[in-house]
Structure formats: C-alpha cells, structure tokens
Amino acid sequence: MRVVLATHNQHKVDEFQKILGARLPELEIVKYEGPEPIEDGVTFAENSLIKARAAARHTGLPALADDSGIAVDILGGSPGIFSARWAGHGRGDQANRELLLDQLADIHDDQRGAAFVCHIAVVVPAGAPGDATAGDAAAADIAWEDVASGFWRGSLTREPRGANGFGYDPVFVPSGLDVTAAELSPEEKNAISHRALAFENVIPLLRMNVIP
C-alpha cells in the first residue's frame, strides 16, 4: 500500500526507504510533492505533525513526516528544531556544522555531549483529499495520528570527519564508538541511529493503524 513521506530532504527519503523498506516491504513510500505548510511548531513533535497532516490532507493517503535535529547539552538543547537552518535559511549543512563547531570552540572535550533527535508523525486522513494548508490539530478530516521518537547520544568532534550521511553526521561521534556517524556505512548508521530507533516505535503504529 502507498504511504506519502512529507520531506524535501532526499537523505531522509533514502533512510526511510532503506529502514522501512527492509522491515515493511508491503509499504510503497512515495515522496510528497504538494503544497507546503508553515513549520511553526515549537517542538519536533508538532513540526512532524504539521508536515504529515498537510501531506495526508492533500493526497488522501496515510502520511509520514520526520522532524529531527541535533540537541547540544551545553547549548541547552540548541540547535534543536532549528538544526536545518542554524546558520541561516538555505546556507546548507556545511555552514550549519561550521557555526556549531565555532560556538563550541572553547568547550572542553568532556562537555561536548549531544543527542540526535528524531520524531516521526503518522497521520491517517479521514476521507478524500482536502486542504493541505488547514492547520487545526483537531480537524475532522484527520482520522488518526500519533508521533514516535528516537534519540541517539554522542558527542561533538572539533573537526568534521567522514563522507557518508548528511547534516551533522561528520561532527557527531555516537556513544561507544570512536568514529563519526559520517564514517559509518549507511547500513551501520541505519541500524543504530535516532531515525532507526524512532522506526522501532513507528512500525507497531503502522501495523496497528495503517496496514490493512
């Protein structure tokens, strides 16, 4: 059955298809191409729901959306929901990483703890395709929705390392490892990442509420 994935981020599409495709081959994950809602939530969970509701309403299909980022302990959880635009809208992953490392330049190695955070919303529309820009959380056109989360602890390097992955992967060393997430193979990352852990919680939701 078809499920739409509401994201612009091709890296997320790849990870969704790899992780979910292996576990739930009956799902065909299609990238959402319709109107975009304003992501004005103040939490990862809210933003994931805003994106998934828009896709569910516009397509009439069950929708998934991922809102994720990196939360740095000494910065009180920032960049958090602003991870994708930490250095400014459209500046890109490298500028975001460089700014974060600059902000932590004087921070001692044992105070560089951080966590990757991933919230995945699952939204089932009530009926036919509707208005993707409607923002009401209690709208009657949504039959069911829920959010699952995953967290991946680690610490930040002083220099980027590795060519795999995306975003903050080159500056994040997962707890218990001495390589960055960008030095892991896609298969290694997808087995242990925040997104993989969120999927562990999404899969039962999909089995109970989405897959016939």
| Amino acid, single-letter form, for residue 27 | L
Among residues 142, 193, 144, 139, the alpha carbon closest in space to that of 169 is found at 193
Smallest gap from residue 127 Cβ to ligand ITT (A): 26
Closest to ligand ITT by CB, 126 or 153 = 153
Smallest gap from residue 85 Cβ to ligand ITT (A): 8
Question: How far, in Å, CA of 52 to CA of 120, rounded?
Answer: 9
3-state secondary structure (DSSP) of residue 174: strand
Stated length of the chain: 212
89 is in an annotated binding site: no
Among residues 17, 14, 59, 52, the alpha carbon closest in space to that of 34 is found at 59
Q: Where on the chain is the footprint of ligand ITT (CB under 6 A)? A: 7-9, 12, 66-70, 83-84, 93, 96, 116, 165-169, 193, 195
Smallest gap from residue 159 Cβ to ligand ITT (A): 16
Smallest gap from residue 117 Cβ to ligand ITT (A): 8
Neighbours of 145 (CB within 10 A): 20
Closest to ligand ITT by CB, 24 or 64 = 64
Residue number closest to ligand ITT, CB atom: 167
Is residue 19 within 8 Å of 195, Cβ to Cβ?
yes
Residue 84 has φ and ψ, to the nearest 5°, of -70, -20
Closest to ligand ITT by CB, 91 or 126 = 91
41 is in an annotated binding site: no
Closest to ligand ITT by CB, 164 or 209 = 164
97 is in an annotated binding site: no
Is 67 designated active site?
yes
Among residues 104, 146, 107, 148, the alpha carbon closest in space to that of 124 is found at 146
Q: Say which of 14, 40, 66, 67 is annotated catalytic.
A: 67
82 is in an annotated binding site: no
Residue ranges of E strands in the chain: 2-5, 28-31, 63-72, 113-125, 142-156, 172-174
119 is in an annotated binding site: no
Distances (CA, A) of 67 to 25, 37, 206: 23, 13, 18
Active site amino acids: 67
Residue ranges of the annotated binding site are 7-12, 67-68, 166-169, 189, 194-195
Residue ranges of the annotated binding site for substrate are 7-12, 68, 166-169, 189, 194-195
Residue ranges of the annotated binding site for Mg(2+) are 67
